[in-house]
């Protein structure tokens, strides 16, 4: 993956446009996590777009398999239609997926706010909450610091709220074994 030396305003504007049109925010519900994690995602059949988003954020492309939507999975017409009509089953094509979560999502959103067409105050609050709620030390801080290092290396500006408890290059278990 080719590293971007510095993100330009046109690159940020392009990414903001893609996220504003195709982006979704969801929260994980993982029982192994202490808190739910915000995930910023874009799904598209345009693999080149998803690949570029991944390059800009240092993330990996993933895919969602094609699936069939069956009429029986939907509510019947008597519950949601004024006039009776026929429904048909359909197929959703395989999609490429870009996603970034936690501190990375907060940092990316923070950088893109000036480029969004709509001033979404709710989205700004979500990003600010992510950044203000980052762990100060201990469990989870290493992952936050690794994300900061990765995104800074790709040209993203890191807000002060994320840098507040930054300790530098995290020591992993593998590194500890080398020292011992």
Annotated domain spans of the chain: 9-179
Burial 108-146 (b: 16+ CB within 10 A, else e): bbbbbeebbeeeeeebeebbeebbeebeeeeebbbebbe
State the pLDDT confidence band at 78, using cuts at 50, 70 and 90.
low
* CA dist., res. 33 & res. 27, Å (int): 12
pLDDT of residue 77: 61
* 150 contacts: CB under 8 Å, gap ≥ 6: 58, 104
Q: Which of the pair, 49 or 88, is modelled with greater confidence?
A: 49
| Structure-block tokens of residue 25 | 């925010």
pLDDT of residue 173: 58
State the pLDDT confidence band at 76, using cuts at 50, 70 and 90.
low
Question: Considering only the top CATH level, what class is 9-179?
Answer: alpha beta
Q: Which of the pair, 119 or 79, is modelled with greater confidence?
A: 119
């Amino acid at each position: 993956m080719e590293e971007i030396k510095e993100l330009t305003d046109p690159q940020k504007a392009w990414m903001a446009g893609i996220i504003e049109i195709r982006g979704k925010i969801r929260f994980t519900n993982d029982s192994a996590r202490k808190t739910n994690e915000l995930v910023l995602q874009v799904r598209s059949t345009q693999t080149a777009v998803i690949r570029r988003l991944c390059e800009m954020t240092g993330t990996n492309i993933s895919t969602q398999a094609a699936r069939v939507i069956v009429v029986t999975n939907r509510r019947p017409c008597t519950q949601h239609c004024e006039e009776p009509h026929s429904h048909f089953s359909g197929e959703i094509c395989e999609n490429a997926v870009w996603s970034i979560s936690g501190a990375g999502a907060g940092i990316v959103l923070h950088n893109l706010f000036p480029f969004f067409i709509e001033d979404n105050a709710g989205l700004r609050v979500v990003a600010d909450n992510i950044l203000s709620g980052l762990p100060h030390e201990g469990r989870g801080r290493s992952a936050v610091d690794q994300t900061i290092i990765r995104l800074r290396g790709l040209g993203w500006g890191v807000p002060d709220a994320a840098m507040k408890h930054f300790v530098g290059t995290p020591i992993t278990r593998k590194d500890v074994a080398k020292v011992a």
